[in-house]
Amino acid sequence: MAAADIKQPGAIRPSGNGSQDAIEEIRHNPTPLYDTSKLELELNVGGQGSTQRRLRDYQVTMIGFCSGIGTGLFVGTGAAYAKAGPAGLLLAFCVVGAVLWCVMQSISELATVIPTAGSFPHWTTRFIDPAVGFSLAISYGYCYTIGIASEISAAAVLVSYWSDITPAVVITVSLVLILAINLCNVRLYGETEVISGAIKVLCFLGLVIVSIVITSGGGPNHKSIGFKYWHHPGAWVDYDGITGSTGHFLGFLSALVNASYSFVGVETVVISAAESVNPHRSIPKAANRVTYRIGFFYILGALLIGIIVDPRNSDLISGSGNANSSPWVIAIKQAGISVLPSIVNACILISAWSAGSSYCWVGSRMIVAMTTDRQLPQIFGRTWSNGVPWLAVIVAWLFGPLAYLSVFMNSIS
């Protein structure tokens, strides 16, 4: 290692000298763990201007705990439950949760040491190969930008639970709100995540309490459920008419796919490292709280669903897409509770909109990361004076109008 490099402890040498040199540089240079002044220069070195560190610790924590939670958790779990049964659903969420926990511990450590724009695509470019980093940024960015349309379409379907309003109106309003939030200061985005995250936590906490009351026989119908559905029809169900262990295994694999979709967004907390006021403190704290997110939202949720709903219930796979397909709402209706379904649907609607906004934010930061590594024209890295990469936001947002295709398909059917 050159002496000049050692005299500049805050700098991290760009890729090109091999991964071993970069690793040795970090190993013998502990200063970046505490001094971010030099690292801030790398936030968007390839574009015009740079993003700004404006996210507070509590905002980063809430992004890590609740960001990305949308319809997959509240509605999509119903179809997985119908295919896998109580044990299959619970096992699928445990397996995906365990894998994701390991991933989070790894990438959060890197985000703490190197809190630069783009996080893991940038690290891949630096430590492995620019081609691998480019392909990762493209695939990861596409995953999230296309998710904007998915969540907005889901929001339009959720509104149909109350009204026959034209879905195009709901889609338009949602698109405008998402674009407006992402074009504002990143601190405003952080506040919206805090508010929507608090709503998600309160909603899920209420569902946990209601589930315990229902299974204990405290509902209006006074029917105690217990672990009835674990015994009849059983912990496992046949998948698509295939009986025996083969059918059970296929059901588990199907639930594994649904569980993976539900977990989308957990890792977005490391994206916030480049815009966090103090990433060396906030990222480790947020990463540790991901453990509680996995256990509280997903594993506990899968366990309760297996207690309160019969996997043979046809509403689970009705395809309505709104609260009527949610296992929580199905259980609430069966218990004779009339008011809560609308409240749950409203919370799911907020979750869908929040997830769409989060996906737009992540997608835009992937574009910024690619300009940082000079994998896209530098014009896409341009920012306003408040640090918002406006062109990257617009490009990511342009995938959202694909949600109008759902209106076209519905009109045909």
pLDDT given at position 92: 94
Q: Is residue 129 part of a domain?
A: no
| Closest to 150 (Cα-Cα) out of 185, 174, 118, 126 | 174
Q: How far apart are CA 43 and CA 388, in angstroms?
A: 12
Q: Is residue 8 part of a domain?
A: no
Q: Is residue 397 part of a domain?
A: yes
| 39 Ramachandran zone, left/alpha/beta (phi>0; psi -120 to 50) | alpha
**pLDDT tens sequence for the chain (413 residues):** 443 343 333 333 344 444 455 445 544 554 444 444 444 444 443 334 477 888 888 898 888 888 778 788 888 888 889 999 999 999 999 999 999 899 888 888 888 888 887 788 888 988 999 999 999 999 999 999 999 999 999 899 889 888 888 889 999 999 999 999 999 989 999 999 999 999 998 999 999 999 999 998 888 888 888 888 998 888 899 888 888 899 999 999 999 998 888 888 888 888 888 888 888 888 888 888 888 888 888 899 999 999 999 998 888 887 666 678 889 989 998 888 888 888 999 999 999 999 999 999 999 999 988 988 888 998 998 888 888 999 999 999 999 999 999 887 665 55
Question: Per the confidence metrics, is the pTM higher than 0.85?
Answer: no
Q: Is residue 124 part of a domain?
A: no
Q: Is residue 171 part of a domain?
A: yes
User: CB burial class (10 A; 0-12, 13-18, 19+) of residue 10?
Assistant: middle
Q: Is residue 81 part of a domain?
A: yes
Print the domain residue range for 51: 47-114+141-412
| Closest to 258 (Cα-Cα) out of 292, 302, 300 | 302
Q: How many domains does the chain have?
A: 1
User: Tokens 């689970």 correspond to what residue?
Assistant: 316
* Coil/strand/helix, residue 239: strand
The DSSP result for 110-121, as a single string, is HHHH---TTSHH
pLDDT given at position 21: 52
SS in 3 state form for 292-338? HHHHHHHHHHHHHHHHHCCCCCHHHHCCCCCHHHCHHHHHHHHCCCC
Tokens representing residue 403 in the block: 């949600």
| Closest to 284 (Cα-Cα) out of 126, 124, 116, 113 | 113
Crossing angle for the helix pair 186-215 and 57-66, nearest 10 degrees?
Answer: 50
pLDDT given at position 31: 44
Q: How far apart are CA 374 and CA 8, in angstroms?
A: 24
Q: How far apart are CA 337 and CA 357, in angstroms?
A: 32
pLDDT given at position 160: 85
Query: Positive or negative CA dihedral for 387, 391, 394, 396?
Result: negative
Q: How far apart are CA 283 and CA 286, in angstroms?
A: 5
Q: Is residue 99 part of a domain?
A: yes
Q: Is residue 381 part of a domain?
A: yes
